[in-house]
Amino acid sequence: MTEMTGKLAKKDLAFARILKIAPWLAVVVSTIPAPLLFFILFLMTEATDSAAVYLLLAGLTFAFGLAIGLIIAAAILFYRRHWLARLRDRLALDGITAGEVSWFRSELTTSERKALAEIEQSNPLLADAYLDTLAMRLTATRIMARSRKELLKVERRINQARLIAGNESAALQADLAADREKIERLRQQADEHLRSAKTRLQVIEATATRKLNQAEIDVMMQRLGNAQDQLPLVLQMAQMEQQALEEVTASSRLTVE
């Protein structure tokens, strides 16, 4: 059922967590137990020859286990990458939502990831709008990429049909030409949505930056005002200290005379 609806299932979340910790777990499991056993035997034995053998075995099993663990971890990471790609393709079947953007972080640009992190810290409401717009941008980008592939397939089929003579070939070419027009219209609509989403992203980023700068300016002005309020008091204290010092100096001179 999940395959048809393109929704994220609980088993997907659980499997994603397993795949995230599995590479590290593979390295630990393959590297630690055997060397640890031989090292304990090394500490417990009293014979010098046996201790040397156990220490050598601990080192060898550690190196061998680490190599095996790294190979297993690399295989898991390779499988995880392809599994996530298939998951993203399935989630995108019915359109990408704001809640699913986190699964498509690899498809975000560096500036988008940076802007999202800053906006989430400064303004949660703008962050929600930014996530919605990112979802629209990702969906439009995927539609355009898929439409380009479909156009190439249709063009290839049209070229193959032209090599075949007959009424059936002419009808096939007409059907393929209609398919090409539909795909081209879809690509144009996706392109319009993509340009709209990119513009909206820039507007949100500018709004968030403007509010962030204003907040920073307000804080600095407040600190400047506090400093100005404290300045007369500091000057007054300095004058009182200077006056007290002069009085002490004068009193000392009178005493000497």
pLDDT at 40: 87
Range from 35-44, 86-95, 188-197, 214-223 carrying the lowest mean pLDDT: 214-223
pLDDT in the model for residue 1: 41
Q: What is the pLDDT of residue 3?
A: 47
User: Which stretches within 32-166 are classed as H helix?
Assistant: 33-44, 48-91, 110-122, 124-162
CA 179 to centroid of chain Cα atoms: 37
Range 12-38 average pLDDT = 91
Residues 244, 246, 252, 257, Cα dihedral to 10°: -140
Phi, psi dihedral angles at 108 (to 5 degrees): -85, 150
Amino acid 74: pLDDT: 95
Contact predicate 183/150, CB 8 Å: yes
- The type of residue at 20 is K
Residue that is written with structure tokens 């804080």 in the block: 219
pLDDT band at 84 (very low <50, low <70, confident <90, very high): very high
